[in-house]
Amino acid sequence: MIKELERLKESETELMLKAPVVLCILIAGADGTIDRREIKEAINVAVRKKEKTILDNYFKEVSQDFEDKLKVLLQSYPYESAKRNPILIEELSPLNPIFLKLDKSFSKPFYDMLKELAEKIAGSSGGLWGMMSVDSEEAKYIRLPMLHDPSQNNSVTR
């Protein structure tokens, strides 16, 4: 169990653990195609983030079988991105009230990690030699409009 998530309900903890995978599907699949480079970049971000930070234990948990989790979860959504994306956004939006339950020393780095993950995935395919180009569909989501920066919230509910 991840210490920072102990005070959450089981469904909230599950969403926190599932969020990077859901985000990967949203960003990588926004243009209608989830390519291998996008999945690889998401895995690389999760694996590299195992350095000593407040998210250390979180990444140890999330990075285990990331690709398998992504493939299994992807099968539970509609194939067409136009149908899939609203569902994914709806799944990620409940993170906002969860952020209020967490200490900002965890919720802010978590939010920042999701933003970094979105940017890395979006920039991993397309463009010159498949690098550093963000598709217009991916650009809609890269700033995570469905999530609010926890550092902008003034209250913490415990």
What angle, rounded to 10 degrees, do the helices at 56-63 and 36-48 form? 140
pLDDT band at 133 (very low <50, low <70, confident <90, very high): low
pTM over 0.75: yes
- Rounded Cα distance between 141 and 118, Å, is 8
Bigger pLDDT: 44 vs 76:
76
Beta bridge partners of 131: 128
Q: What is the pLDDT of residue 125?
A: 67
Q: 140 exposed, middle or buried (CB, 10 Å; 0-12, 13-18, 19+)?
A: middle
Q: What is the pLDDT of residues 101-118, one digit of tens each?
A: 999 999 999 999 999 889
Residue 100 confidence class, pLDDT cut points 50, 70, 90:
very high
Interatomic CA distance for residues 101 and 44, integer angstroms: 29
